[in-house]
Amino acid sequence: MRPTWRPALLTILVLAVTVVTVALSLVVGKAAAEPAPVVTIGRPAPETFIAPRFEVFVDEEATESNRETARLNTEVQYKRNPESANQVTVRLLSFFEAVRQAAIPIPPAESTDPIASTSTTVAASEETQQTTTTSTTLPRPEQAVQVESVQASGFLVLGDVVDEFVAIYNRDLDRGLVEEPVVFGTIEDETLDLANQLLADGIKEVDLAGVRQTLVADPPFIFVAGLPEEERDVVQSTISRLVAAELRSNLERDDAATAALEESNASSVTDVTIVFREGDTIVSRGELVSSVQEEAIAFYDLLVPEEGPRYLATTILGALAVLLAAFFLWRVAPAQWTEPRHFALLGVLLVLAALAARIPEIVTAENTQAGYVLPAMVLGYLAAILFDPRTATLMAIPVAFFTGIATGDPGLTVFAAGATVTPIAFVSSVSSRRELRVAVALSAVTLAPLGAATEWMFGAGETMGRNVAAAAGFAFLGGVVGGLVAQGLLSFLENLFRVTTTLTLLDLTDRNHPALRLVEDKAPGTFNHSILVGTMAGKAARAIGADPLLAQAAAYYHDIGKTEHPEFFIENQFGVSNPHDELPPEESAEIVRSHVLDGLRLARQFRLPKEVTDGIRMHHGTGLMRFFYHKALETDPAVDPELFRHRGIRPNRKEMAIVMLCDAVEGAARALSQREDPTPDSLRKLVESIVGEKVDDGQLDESALTFGDLTRLKDSLVEALVGYYHARIHYPGFPQAAAK
């Protein structure tokens, strides 16, 4: 259960928020009579500023720009990776070893006769090649086999470089056999020297492709002693291609060193300074203000402090207006005070009033009479529809307060109070959208002479006649615009604060409403019953001073749940058997009971307001379904009557009690008319019986109906039923039943 203190606490919180918001609305952006110049970096200077004395200022923006340029111009630092050079050397050595190994003769797998052999040693440059010879010397593998062997050793990607080196090595071996100089060892040394020389210079990752391309396209001169002249170009190109293929980058970016150098370069940049001597122009009017100019203006204290409004006094007056309105509401309408949602709505209207009070100071720069366009009528219009005429009249106090605070104009203050009250009489009793538009037009027409009279009384000047006419025109314009704005705000505020207004109920009682169309299409008998109940409920509500429109709307929708299973309700059974005849009474009771839950679900679907939804929830209360209960008694005299009660809520307001009584009375009267011709006496007995039954069952205990109300209700119900079941002429030639 929600604590009883919580609504009051929420209301106090809403009140505090309203006070603060109103105060801010009145003071924020309040301009002084002579606004001080405002200097903004990057915007034109409002005037020319002169330096009063000598001063040096550091142009931080230009200095930082120079420092950033120094950082950007800093050369990227690199560090060597020795592992890259080692990997290149190992790969090259492995390649030459693979070439040598590929040329070694392969002995036969088996030998049947030992062969006497002699050994011949062949010397090579910086290496000893031992070749075993016999009367039959073992041949070297075919060159293609040697190439495959080298490639299989991990040098497949070198392509024809392997072919060239295998050929070079084989020619070198052939020269060794005839005791000519061998050069393969020298070629190996020159290859390693070339690679090491390039790595010593350092190679970046971004430069690696270019170095390789240069090596291949323009091989460096390589001298190999003993190499035949005709082979020099081939060997030189082959060495370059091998080195290019195996070369790797060995310089890596050193971010730490680069960053340190960047900061060192930036710190070495000298500050950019600007000197202002006495009488120098800091910035000319219309010139874009730089950061150093703005700093100098502030340093010299050249901006005259703005003489702001009296914020404290404005805040106090605004707060007093809100508190006065709250106190008045608490005294005359305590129910509004205890409902935080409604009080929050009032707070929104007060904030709108504060904002509206600021409009005259915006529009009166060129024409003082333009202040009469003040949309004070909006507040009275909204309050009269969303609340009641008393609360709407209350709005005149804060609106006048706020206008006086914001404008200091006594004429506009009086006009604001009158404009707030003007629409109340016109909109308080509207019953259609057309009447609402007429009310707006009448309010605007009334505001015209009000504005003219106010200007005539408080205005001055030689052009008084013109001023009065202008005031009347602006007041009329404000009334028209205010009415349009209020109609737009009304729907938004209704939905935001879930307030059910007269206009909401008017929309709900429109027979073209989708929910009513649904009832008419799916359950026509229920639709006719609901319309008749609504007519009776509206009449009965007027008889006891309740809200007839609410009672009528609640009655229209009270049986909307029957559209889910219309065939189970007698009013929709046209010439067909009653399905309840085949069902046990307990099941029938459950089906009938479910139309309340179905109705609540459909109410949420169609976004019906709570006040109307209460008619669905409360129109049966916790009453007993006597028909099915008595049917159950026929088979079980000890049956529990609680099994046949509705599980709704007892009516807690007069309008819902009226819907309950009208629903029961209309159904009973219809049943009576099917058995006999109703008479005033029989209808009165019927009404007395049903009302007495509801009272005895406690269904009306929470509805606040008095015995006097019940008496007037019964008279109204009898009058409505007699009017509906009046006697009819028996036309010749028509069946007797048609006369009923």
Among 22-26, 644-648, 654-658, the range of highest mean pLDDT: 654-658
Q: How far apart are alpha carbons 192 and 197 in whole angstroms?
A: 8
Token pair 């009488």 in the structure block, residue: 279
Question: String of b and e for 120-138 (b: at least 16 CB within 10 Å)?
Answer: eebebbeeebebeeeeeee
Q: Which domains does the chain have, with CATH numbers?
A: 5-28+333-499 (1.10.1760.20), 80-107+118-252 (no CATH), 504-739 (1.10.3210)
Contacts of 678 (CB under 8 A, 6+ apart): 669, 672, 686, 721, 725
For range 332-349, the mean pLDDT: 77
Q: What's the predicted TM-score (pTM) here?
A: 0.55
Are the C-beta atoms of 412 and 372 separated by less than 8 Å? yes
What is residue 601's predicted lDDT score, i.e. its pLDDT?
A: 94
Nearest residue to 30 via CA among 364, 310, 351: 310
What's the confidence (pLDDT) of residue 109?
A: 54
Distance CA 520, CA 511 (A): 9
To the nearest whole percent, how much of the chain has pLDDT over 90? 15
Q: Are 271 and 101 in contact (CB under 8 A)?
A: no
Alpha carbon distance 490, 505 (integer Å): 14
pLDDT of residue 111: 40
The pLDDT value given to residue 535: 93
Are 579 and 567 contacting, i.e. CB atoms less than 8 angstroms apart? yes
Q: What is the pLDDT of residues 363-392, one digit of tens each?
A: 765 567 777 888 888 888 888 888 878 888
C-alpha dihedral sign at 540, 545, 546, 551: positive
pLDDT digits over 87-139, tens only? 888 888 988 888 898 888 877 654 434 333 333 333 333 343 434 333 346 78
pLDDT at 367: 63
What is the per-residue pLDDT for 627?
81
Q: Where are the beta strands (DSSP E) in 204-297?
A: 251-253, 273-276, 281-283
pLDDT of residue 661: 94
Give me the phi and psi of 30, to 5 degrees please. Answer: -70, 120
| Confidence category of residue 147, pLDDT binned at 50, 70, 90 | confident
Q: What is the pLDDT of residue 738?
A: 43
Of all residues in the chain, what percent carry a pLDDT higher than 70? 88
8 Å CB contact between 558 and 613:
no
Contacts of 447 (CB under 8 A, 6+ apart): 377, 419, 422, 475, 476, 478, 479
> For residue 688, what pLDDT band results from cuts at 50, 70 and 90?
very high
Tell whether the model's pLDDT for residue 18 goes beyond 70: yes
Rounded mean pLDDT of 180-201? 86
The listed range with the strongest mean pLDDT (222-231, 340-349, 414-423, 636-645) is 414-423
